[in-house]
Structure formats: C-alpha cells, structure tokens
Amino acid sequence: MVIIDTDIIIWILRGNDSIRQKFETLVSGSGGKVFVSPIQIAEVYAGLRDAERIRTDEFFKALRLKLIDEAIGKQAGEFIRKYRQSHNVTLADAVIAAVTVYYHFTLWTLNRKHYPMLSEEQFFQTEQ
C-alpha cells in the first residue's frame, strides 16, 4: 500500500504525463489501495487555483483517506523533535512520515530529503 506525497498529487493534477502514467499503473496494480492523509489535502487546497477545484475534488474522492489520531500525532512529534534542527523537518512532513510508518505504507515522493526518518525501503520505488 502506498501513500502519495503532496508533490506527486500536484504533478498529477497539473498533467505531468510521466507521473500520471506511473500513478495509473500504481492504482491498477494495487487494486486502488492508494492513500492520502488530511495533510496532503490541506497542502494541495492551500495552493489551489480556482480552475482546478472541480478536478481536485474528484481526484481526492477517488483516493482512500487515512485519518490522523493520537498515535500518529505522537510519532510525528518525535520525528520533529529528532529531525527539526538537523533537517528542518516540518509538521506536515512529520505527519505524512508518521502515517507511512504507522500503517506500514511506502511513501511516493520526489522529495526524499524531507523524510530523513524513513529508510530506503519505506519509499515507493518507481522505474526511472
């Protein structure tokens, strides 16, 4: 199961053919088990263009949502405490990483440097 980072969502919504094809392959190969958390939704809507609203609404309806709870909040806090100064980890990235770890997902992102708390195996591998 895969959780997709905000950068991947933006590339899909803005029409990057390579990312979109990889996403379609992922969805069909996983039986639709592609997830987001409220954090990715908030980040996308924060930068949303008016003309993108309907398409974005439909896109998020097609994904599965993992909610944030106390355990994820605690883990995110630990990630921030450990990596804030050395890697400037943000709350959003810490929560996404915590969801990834808690649910034993892999994270699909193009910004691996934002996730020093994840091992190589915890990143979704796409063919280059």
**How do residues 47-96 score in pLDDT, each as one tens digit?**
999 999 999 999 999 999 999 999 999 999 999 999 999 999 999 999 99
**How do residues 19-49 score in pLDDT, each as one tens digit?**
999 999 999 998 889 999 999 999 999 999 9
Spell out the domains of the chain, with CATH numbers in brackets: 2-122 (3.40.50.1010)
Q: Is the pLDDT of residue 128 over 50?
A: no
Neighbouring residues of 128: CB distance < 8 A, sequence distance ≥ 6 = none
User: Would you state the pLDDT for residue 32?
Assistant: 85
| CA separation, residue 56 to residues 40, 41, 62, 91 (Å) | 12, 9, 10, 23
Whether the pTM exceeds 0.75: the reply is yes
Q: Is the pLDDT of residue 118 over 60?
A: yes
Decide: residue 104, CB within 10 A, 0-12 exposed, 13-18 middle, 19+ buried: exposed
Decide: residue 71, CB within 10 A, 0-12 exposed, 13-18 middle, 19+ buried: exposed
